[in-house]
Amino acid sequence: LLTFGAPYDATTSQSLPLRAYPQVKMAKYFGDIAKGCKDILSGGISYDNKFNVSTKVGGHSVKADIVSKGVDVTASATGTYAIAKDFTADCTVNEKGDVKGTMAHAGLVKGLRTTVSGEPANAAKTLKVANQFLHGPVGVKLDVSGVVSGAPKVDMSALWNVGQWSLGAETAVGKNGVANYALAAQTKIDDVVAAIVLADKLETLKASATYKLDSNTSLAAEAVYKLKSRDLKVCAGVATTLENGHAARAVLSSSGNAQVTYSGEVTKGLQGTACAQVDQALKYKYGLQFNYKM
């Protein structure tokens, strides 16, 4: 699978279908609040040059990635194995020979998925256990890391859907106590999805809205206000699907940056994305990503 800017799902190692606007559904987890706005304003935008190719061998998924960041080039290969129903394992090796393993199991308890990941050569620092639980209108995530190294950290979040509202909270607790926390709410009114997030220990206010203009085009805007410094930043964007099925997007920010992306099928099995940004000083950067599925 070779990816050029197509949206990507790391949990399945597959490209997501190209679309110009978010598929608005009730949020499942805290991170889903304002996701439609984030997808338009920043989702999938990268200024690295990437090449990804993937295929299936004996019913198992195999993929390879090459990433160029300026003069630095990194590479990795990943194999994903279906051990049993609802039980998968992946192994990733990078150009330095570092090995990372991941095992994920679902179905032990209805709605629960547990993922264990880490690098065998550095297990004390990298071992992490991530849990996500979905039951009716409630979604909970609980991640634990650093226990073996003596620097434990717990990241927790919860979301509750009530009518047309999604209400959520998250916190991070470390060795020295509570490191961070946030509250959020989202609602949908006709074709508008509005969200408010109080992040960074409730010191940053984020207000966003996404408007579905028609079946092909959506608009998004976000204002971020630092309560202590009184710093305000605003960002707005539009995303649309063209007649040829390709997707285009433009994003402007109050800092003077303009970003554009263009995604589409280059040839059968090959998806491509181009991203470019220019600032007030006319300095620019760009990135090309390709994803090829064999």
- Per DSSP, 48 falls in state S
**Is the distance from CB of 235 to CB of 256 less than 8 angstroms?**
no
Query: Please, what are the averages of pLDDT over each run of 10 residues along the chain (294 residues)?
Result: 38 42 70 96 94 91 94 95 92 96 92 95 94 96 93 96 96 94 96 97 98 96 97 97 94 96 94 96 95 94
Dig out the tokens for 281 from the structure.
């000083």
Can you say whether residue 191 is alpha, beta or left, with left for phi > 0 and alpha for psi between -120 and 50 degrees? alpha
Tokens 């991070």, residue located: 172
pLDDT value at residue 107: 78
Question: What is d(CA 251, CA 43) in angstroms, rounded to the nearest whole number?
Answer: 11
CB 183 within 8 A of CB 30: no
The token duo for 291 is: 């994803």
Residue 211: what residue type? Y
Determine the Cα–Cα distance for residues 236 and 221; give it in Å rounded to an integer: 4
**Whole-number Å distance between alpha carbons of 129 and 117:** 7
User: Per the structure block, which two tokens stand in for 6?
Assistant: 């197509």
Q: What one-letter code names the amino acid at 36? A: G
- CA–CA separation, 78 and 13 (whole Å): 9
DSSP conformation letters of 201-246: TTTEEEEEEEEE-SSSEEEEEEEEEETTT--EEEEEEEEEE-TTS-
CA distance 129 to 66: 28
Apex 133 CA angle, 131 and 135, nearest 5: 175
